[in-house]
Amino acid sequence: MPTFVPRQQLNAAAWDACVLASTQRIVYGYSWYLDAVLPAPDWCWMGLVVYDERGNYRAVMPVPLRRKQVAGILHPWVVHQPFFCQFLSVFSLDTSLDPALFLQAIQNRFRYGSSLSLNVSKPLSCEAQTLTTHVLDLSVGYDAVFRQYSSDRRINLRRAEAANWTISDSSDLNPLLGLFRLNHADTIRGGVADWAYTIFANLGDELVKRGFGILRYAMQEGRIEAGALFVREGNRIIYLFNAASETGRKKNARTLLIDQVIRDYAGQKLVFDFESPEKQSIASFYESFGSTRESFYSFRWSRLTAFERVLVRLSRLVTLKKM
């Protein structure tokens, strides 16, 4: 059975080795990645660990936690999916282990789970929403990938190439964050808190320092108009974050940035992951590159008291009246 282990008691090297060797390997599962996206004091994480007979880590699963008000009451910790972490998983050296055991252990310990996204087969023990990302198989080579681009995407790529963009690699995240603040933050409901920028900046620096981050900018006349941070680890390249000015959008800079990374890594045994949000316009853009859908699940559960459930309904009514 899996055992809960606080973060400070985990063997980070053993944890990361287990993630690295597992069939579920993905960058989101490493201890240093989780430390970056779940900073104290309002976030933390603990691990569920299955040990072998020698005490080595046989399987691990991160449990992301956040201090959060539920029904107006501050709960010590609730299970909550962190930002910049599309999904987690049970990272196991043993394919016979049932992921449902891990999920049940989490539900038994934590009364409230506001969101937990997992790339596992769907257990039937709690409410789950099917989410999708969009992926491209790069192993077939660039020509084969390009043939799957929609006609509109090919036209826009030619337009981008004709716009004489200068593409450069960088290790400086500040221009990317600046582009996002100026051109995208106001479109997000509720805005973007300063702590979210801090989390991303710390994560981006960690990725670049470890050699997993590919940070590229598109420039015209010496001015940065678009940028993107890609993450390459294992057999996956993740389109983690991007931003563009109005000029960058109109002149298809992000199409060019994506296409160049696809060109650079096509022919290798890699999957390009667009990290799709649940927004049709963005999904359609990613599908125009010929990507296919890949499913994972978001779990929620609640064992709130009757009084707390009444408070939740009242708080929702107040929120609706303010809209």
Which pLDDT score, from 0 to 100, does residue 317 have? Answer: 64
Higher pLDDT, 124 or 115: 115
Residues 213-219, mean pLDDT to the nearest whole number:
98
Residue 323: which pLDDT band, with cuts at 50, 70 and 90?
very low
Percentage of the chain exceeding pLDDT 90: 81
What domains can be seen in the chain, in order of their start residue?
3-125+296-322 (3.40.630), 133-290 (3.40.630.30)
Question: Could you read off the pLDDT of 263-274 as tens digits, one per residue?
Answer: 999 999 999 999
In the block, tokens 């995407």 appear at 153
Lowest mean per-residue pLDDT among 29-38, 186-195, 197-206, 223-232: 186-195
Which pLDDT score, from 0 to 100, does residue 190 have? Answer: 81
Residues 104-121, mean pLDDT to the nearest whole number:
93
Indicate if the pLDDT at residue 249 is higher than 50. yes
pTM: 0.93
Residue 123: which pLDDT band, with cuts at 50, 70 and 90?
low
Indicate if the pLDDT at residue 70 is higher than 70. no
Instruction: Calculate Rg over the CA atoms of the chain.
Output: 21
Residues 204-209, mean pLDDT to the nearest whole number:
96
Indicate if the pLDDT at residue 321 is higher than 60. no
Residue 307: which pLDDT band, with cuts at 50, 70 and 90?
confident
Average pLDDT of the chain is: 93
In the block, tokens 């899996």 appear at 2
In the block, tokens 């022919």 appear at 267
